[in-house]
Amino acid sequence: MNTKILLSKAKPIIIIVLLFILAFSLRADAININGVPQNYTSLFEDSNGLPYFSEMDSYYNYRMTQDVLDHGYVGDTIINGTNWDLHGYYPSGRTAMSTPLLAYMTAFTYKLANSFGNIPLNEVCIWLAPFVASLAVIPAYLFVRRLTNDYGGIAAGILVGLAPAYFMHTFAGFFDTDMFNMIFPIIVAGFFILSMLTKDIKTRSIYVALSAISLLVYSIAWEGWWYMFYIIVGTGIIYLLVSNYLFKMKTIRSFNEFSSKKEWLLEQPALFSFIMFIVLSSILMSIYMGPVGFASSLISSIGFSQLQATVTGTSYPNIYVSVGELHVPDLSSVVSEVGGIVPFVLGILVVPLLLWKLKPEGTKKENNIQQAPKRKSKPRRKAKKTKTEIIPENIKNNTIKDPQILENKKHYLLYAVLFIVWLSLMGFALTQGSRFLEQFSLPIALGAGVFVGLITPYIKKHVQNVKYYALVVAIVIAAVVYSPVYGAYTTSNSVVPGTDDSMYNSLTWIGNNTSNNTVLTSWWDFGHLFAAIADRSVTTDGISQNTPRSYWIGKALTTSNENLSVGILRMLTSSGDQGYTTVENYTGNTSKSVEILDKILPVEKSAAQTILTSQYSFTAEQAQNVLQYTHPDNPAPHELILSTDMVNKAGVWSYFGNWNFQNNTGQGYSYYAGQGVTQQVNGTTVVGTALSNTSAIVAQINGTQIAAGLQYQQNNQTQVMEPHKLIVVQNGSVKLNQVVSNDSEFSIILINQNNTYIMAIMNKELEDSMFTRMFFENGAGLSQFKLVHSEGGALDPYGTQVWNVSS
């Protein structure tokens, strides 16, 4: 075998290796956390010099992997045959990781790696996503290459592997199930396509079985697997109908043409593959999930169209509307997240291009029009030239007789239908939130690759010089992939971990200094981190955020009533949902239930019983049933965790904490905090921090006289607006807390810690909130909250305070 033939055979492998290296190396660069200033890098690394994970779901997957390594299955225990997680959603707990592939695969990789050396589990987790995600270039390349050529495959491999919506969830340090969301859908669709177009029954059966098995594995990897089932089924139905009745390809033939029903099914590739995919998938899913579970997954998936509702099935607010990835993206965001305007346009245009490839063969003028014999000219008279159109029989009857042409058109039609269904379904999904950008970017990337592959023959036709042709094609591919390649490089070099030493050390302290039955509460964002590092149960986290608990936690932070805040936390950490659900079962009205709880939670048990029986006509038995959950005899020990990030999130937790159940609306309030800059002016200390180019918080300190306000520019003149209340905290103690102007809508807090100033401005509604009094005022005037541990300052990225709550 000569070198040329050898290189030709090795070319696909060489291309795949190079594509993988490109995708992996760009992801690997995130390990350097270049988004953190170099002198602060160590604050975002653990004792082994490894960066903390970039987001919180990674810590849930990390904890599930620890479970597998510790006792062989995900979750803390098994209840009635179901893996159960007792760390999340305390006290009831919940089903543990319904898609456990990541945990088991990581545990296996960890054991394999440690057979060669001593490698920490979090290091395995850090590198797994870049490796698995980069493998997606392989099926992407092969999927598009089969229909087009290497050029299309290369473009598709790069676009899929580096799609921004995918890349930003799969770089080093991001340990989540997103890593599976490109590779498995391509494999499922790819094998299905192969089975539909394969004549040999054995090979066809293998392909369709592999497609169904791949879907099963995908269902073990990610809970949104069902969309690929709908895409394949939708593609199969539309293709069979359109190909048979519109294009007369005879993909569905009559029973009369065959000797038996078995032969009728086996001899029709597309129909056989379609039916067998549904049958095999249903059987496999029913074995894994149970028939009810499989049906439930398909039916419940319809509920994703309600994600944008303000309330869903209850009067409590829908917390999902505050989750960034569930906000509906605008067109510019969609274009950016799929890789830029060029891939986006080409990914859409691939559909008309594939349909154009279905045009009848031989319709060009020079091929389809024959001239009749010319009549001889008579003297002095010219005969008129006439043309008689001879229409090929296959065009007249809308049928295709050439076997090769027919097969090619089946390919183009099947791919066209697949892209139409895929783009349409994912396009609709985008109306429910940006979390589906990842899924939408896949058909765009594959479609753009197909487009590139299909236009290269036309380029070759017009650029016949081999070198110039290669150059032009290289330029086309570069133009298509430039944006995602550059975006991947930028993303990888701007990564900042999702936590730092302050929060990590605080959680370690909790793990070492509290009882095992201690329950942790905070806003839901960091729940997975708390459970994993402190090894304590939490009331809410990134799985259970959309529950009434988020409203009650928001209220506990927003209220100025210490007794109410303590009562809310006692109810949640001891009985979970039982308190408010029991009240609502009796009233049948959420608004009335909240009103009742607002009155009974701040008071002692005996007073609460009197309120229930005298003001709301509860029977003594009903009152006791409620109070066992709202005022338990043996409440669980619990800690409240506050952190700097919650300052910026105040607009969210206060919005839900102030929810109006009469009109289903909330009202959010905010803080802005910054480092104060001091200067001496005529013996007076002036402290300020800029809010914008034209406004700032300013304070003047002259001995014991302190004044502060909001300075702004109006009509080229400097104006100062007085706050509603001015609060001054010096070295941990409140020195001033007074109303300045009843007409003002904002308040200012000035914190002096060893002559270093922090200034914060807030809506006046937050000036006496429990969060303000604890986080900024060190618990001034509070008797039931005790600060037991703190790390970092109020302006540090993740400055953390741990508050013990009186039981």
* DSSP-assigned letter for residue 668: -
Query: How do 671-675 and 684-690 pair as beta strands?
Result: unpaired
* DSSP-assigned letter for residue 330: P
What is residue 384's predicted lDDT score, i.e. its pLDDT? 46
Answer whether residue 722 is part of any domain: yes
- The Cα 571–Cα 630 span in angstroms is 5
Bridge partners of residue 387, in order along the sequence: 371
What is residue 375's predicted lDDT score, i.e. its pLDDT? 45
Model confidence band, residue 753 (pLDDT cutoffs 50, 70, 90): confident
The answer on pLDDT for 401 being more than 70 is no
Residue from 666, 344, 684 nearest 483 by CA: 344
Answer whether residue 46 is part of any domain: yes
- The Cα 221–Cα 184 span in angstroms is 9
What is residue 7's predicted lDDT score, i.e. its pLDDT? 80
122-146 tens-digit pLDDT: 999 999 999 999 999 999 999 999 9
What is the average pLDDT value for the chain, to the nearest integer? 91
The answer on pLDDT for 411 being more than 60 is yes
Answer whether residue 33 is part of any domain: yes
Q: State whether 633 and 695 are in the same domain.
A: no
Choosing from 492, 515, 545, the residue where a domain stops is 492
Looking at residues 519-533, what average pLDDT do you find? 97
What is residue 434's predicted lDDT score, i.e. its pLDDT? 84
Q: State whether 516 and 417 are in the same domain.
A: no
Choosing from 492, 520, 550, the residue where a domain stops is 492
The answer on pLDDT for 36 being more than 90 is yes
Q: State whether 218 and 291 are in the same domain.
A: yes
Q: State whether 296 and 328 are in the same domain.
A: yes
User: Which residue has tokens 């559909």?
Assistant: 351
What is residue 193's predicted lDDT score, i.e. its pLDDT? 96
Answer whether residue 366 is part of any domain: no
What is residue 314's predicted lDDT score, i.e. its pLDDT? 67
Tokens representing 336 are 């950016």
- The Cα 234–Cα 229 span in angstroms is 8
The tally of domains found in the chain comes to 3
Model confidence band, residue 404 (pLDDT cutoffs 50, 70, 90): confident
* 529 Cβ contact list (under 8 Å, min separation 6): 56, 59, 498, 499, 503, 507
- The Cα 15–Cα 13 span in angstroms is 5
What is residue 386's predicted lDDT score, i.e. its pLDDT? 46
Tokens representing 36 are 């953190």
The answer on pLDDT for 255 being more than 90 is no
Q: State whether 714 and 634 are in the same domain.
A: no
* DSSP-assigned letter for residue 359: S
- The Cα 471–Cα 452 span in angstroms is 14
Q: State whether 528 and 618 are in the same domain.
A: yes
The answer on pLDDT for 49 being more than 90 is yes
Answer whether residue 330 is part of any domain: yes
Q: State whether 194 and 286 are in the same domain.
A: yes
**Do residues 122 and 571 make contact, with C-beta atoms less than 8 angstroms apart?**
no
What is residue 218's predicted lDDT score, i.e. its pLDDT? 97
- The Cα 780–Cα 784 span in angstroms is 11
- The Cα 695–Cα 437 span in angstroms is 38
Q: State whether 346 and 465 are in the same domain.
A: yes
What is residue 320's predicted lDDT score, i.e. its pLDDT? 81
**Do residues 564 and 602 make contact, with C-beta atoms less than 8 angstroms apart?**
yes
Query: DSSP H helical segments within 360-462, as ranges?
Result: 365-368, 393-396, 403-430, 437-462
What is residue 323's predicted lDDT score, i.e. its pLDDT? 72
The answer on pLDDT for 572 being more than 60 is yes
The answer on pLDDT for 307 being more than 90 is no
**Do residues 247 and 409 make contact, with C-beta atoms less than 8 angstroms apart?**
yes
Regarding predicted confidence, which is higher, 507 or 395? 507
Answer whether residue 618 is part of any domain: yes
The answer on pLDDT for 708 being more than 80 is yes
The answer on pLDDT for 770 being more than 90 is yes
* 636 Cβ contact list (under 8 Å, min separation 6): 90, 91, 517, 518, 519, 573, 574, 807
The answer on pLDDT for 699 being more than 70 is yes
Of 2-6, 309-313, 500-504, 511-515, minimum mean pLDDT range: 309-313
Q: State whether 447 and 506 are in the same domain.
A: no
Q: State whether 343 and 239 are in the same domain.
A: yes
Model confidence band, residue 103 (pLDDT cutoffs 50, 70, 90): very high
Model confidence band, residue 389 (pLDDT cutoffs 50, 70, 90): very low
* 759 Cβ contact list (under 8 Å, min separation 6): 673, 674, 675, 676, 687, 688, 689, 697, 699, 708, 748, 749, 750, 751
**Do residues 456 and 152 make contact, with C-beta atoms less than 8 angstroms apart?**
yes
The answer on pLDDT for 729 being more than 90 is yes
Choosing from 466, 492, 518, the residue where a domain stops is 492
> What Cα–Cα distance (Å) separates residue 565 from each residue in 172, 425, 552, 635?
40, 45, 9, 15
The answer on pLDDT for 393 being more than 70 is no
**Do residues 539 and 549 make contact, with C-beta atoms less than 8 angstroms apart?**
yes
Bridge partners of residue 47, in order along the sequence: none
172-220 tens-digit pLDDT: 999 999 999 999 999 999 999 999 999 999 999 999 999 999 999 999 9
> What Cα–Cα distance (Å) separates residue 605 from each residue in 83, 561, 565, 579, 677?
36, 17, 16, 13, 50
**Do residues 806 and 785 make contact, with C-beta atoms less than 8 angstroms apart?**
yes
458-483 tens-digit pLDDT: 999 999 899 999 999 999 999 999 99
What is residue 435's predicted lDDT score, i.e. its pLDDT? 84
What is residue 513's predicted lDDT score, i.e. its pLDDT? 98
Looking at residues 630-636, what average pLDDT do you find? 95
The residue ranges of DSSP E strands in 14-130, in sequence order, are 77-79, 82-85, 94-95
Q: State whether 295 and 153 are in the same domain.
A: yes
Answer whether residue 69 is part of any domain: no
Beta-carbon neighbour count of residue 393 at 10 Å?
A: 9
712-728 tens-digit pLDDT: 998 888 999 999 999 99
> What Cα–Cα distance (Å) separates residue 588 from each residue in 89, 315, 383, 608, 663?
24, 11, 94, 20, 17
Query: How do 638-643 and 519-521 pair as beta strands?
Result: parallel
Q: State whether 339 and 425 are in the same domain.
A: yes
- The Cα 278–Cα 235 span in angstroms is 12
Answer whether residue 569 is part of any domain: yes
User: Which residue has tokens 């090769």?
Assistant: 404
Residue % of the chain over a pLDDT of 90: 80
The answer on pLDDT for 1 being more than 80 is no
The answer on pLDDT for 362 being more than 60 is no
**Do residues 135 and 157 make contact, with C-beta atoms less than 8 angstroms apart?**
no
Residue from 422, 449, 447, 448 nearest 436 by CA: 422
The answer on pLDDT for 24 being more than 60 is yes
422-445 tens-digit pLDDT: 999 999 999 888 889 999 999 999
What is residue 305's predicted lDDT score, i.e. its pLDDT? 53
Cis bond upstream, residue 379 (ω within 30)? no
Q: Largest Cα–Cα distance in the chain?
A: 125
- The Cα 794–Cα 190 span in angstroms is 53
**Do residues 283 and 215 make contact, with C-beta atoms less than 8 angstroms apart?**
no
Give residue 246's domain range: 15-50+120-355+409-492
